[in-house]
Structure 1
Amino acid sequence: MSTANTESMQLACPHCHSLNRVPVARLAEAPACGRCKRPLFAGEPFELDAATFDAHAVRSELPLLVDFWAPWCGPCRMMAPAYRQAASVLEPRLHLAKVDTQAQPELGARYGIRSIPTLVLLHRGREIARQSGAMSLPGIVQWVGQQPSVH
């Protein structure tokens, strides 16, 4: 994980979506949001919508893994527990979020989501990698670990 400023990075709160400047050396020390005082790493994915998406995908300096899914999708529901567990394994290297493409069709269209579930890894607004299809916990962790922006 590299940052423009190697001493601190800006990251969005998964609860109130405000931006926080956090020393990189303290990311693993359970930092709290300066605004809402809740943990910046909750150990579980958080929901994003069109209003909150860019705070995490563009303005935050922490990589973001997004699960594009829909409630009617069987493979999406099958993968949900593994994705939830992946948050506790992969944080604080990245945040994990979920976007319901049925409720947020504009975000699905923006990223050209053609099948679900689709995982998209973003860093500072750029798509780094994409993987379609349900994955197990080891599969998610291994796939993320292969991406250069998450080290």
Structure 2
Amino acid sequence: MFYTCPSCGAINRIPDDQHNQQGQCGKCKSALFNATPVALNDTGFQRFLAKNDLPVLVDFWAEWCGPCKMMGPIFKELCAEQQHQLRFAKVNTEQAQMVSQQFGIRSIPTLILFRQGKEVDRLAGALPAPQLRQWIAAALQK
């Protein structure tokens, strides 16, 4: 399976039978799984989506958004729990305006689940952890 390093963006291959282990980037030696969502911007967004074999859940947010601030710790908690089933990423809509516009982000927080670079499902608004887990499980089945 292929994973994009959250630190340097290098593409790493991990054998299928070892993908539940931590893994280390072959280029920068950083952990491939560090229980923290990856911050993406306009330049690295498409590469991160296209070069990960796991589905990618992206949180579109902004610093000034109250519901986004409430959702942040929940998103990080789920990242720690499910980091080997899907990749978690965050896009600050104020800084990554091209990506936000490309995906028609009109309200925040907006979560989009991508598989092989294509949008699978979308959710607008903040949810508590149990409901977010349910939404993720249902979206992964699509």
Q: Identity of aligned pairs, percent? A: 38
SS in 2 for 1:28: coil
| Number of residues of Structure 1 aligned to a counterpart in Structure 2 | 142
SS at match of 1:84: helix
Match of 2:47 in 1: 55
Aligned to 1:17: 9
The reply to whether residue 75 of structure 1 matches residue 67 of structure 2 is: yes
User: Deviations along 1:50-105, whole A, 9 cap, x unmatched?
Assistant: 11112211222221100000111110011111011110111111110100001111
In structure 1, how many angstroms separate the alpha carbons of the residues matched to 2:63 and 2:79?
20
Paired amino acid for 2:69: R
Q: Partners of 2:4 and 2:141 in 1: how far apart? A: 18
Q: Match for residue 86 of structure 1?
A: 78
Structure-1-length-normalised TM-score: 0.89
Q: Secondary structure at the match of 2:19?
A: helix
Structure 2 length normalisation: TM-score? 0.94
Q: Judge conservation of contact 1:18–1:55 (CA < 8 Å) in 2.
A: no
Find the residue that maps to 1:47 and give its secondary structure: strand
- Consecutive unaligned residues of structure 1, counting only runs of 5 or more, are 1-8
RMSD: 1.3
CA deviation vs aligned residue, 1:5-47 (integer Å, no higher than 9, x gap): xxxx111011111101111211111111111111111111120
- What residue number does 1:108 align with? 100
Unaligned runs of 5+ in 2: none
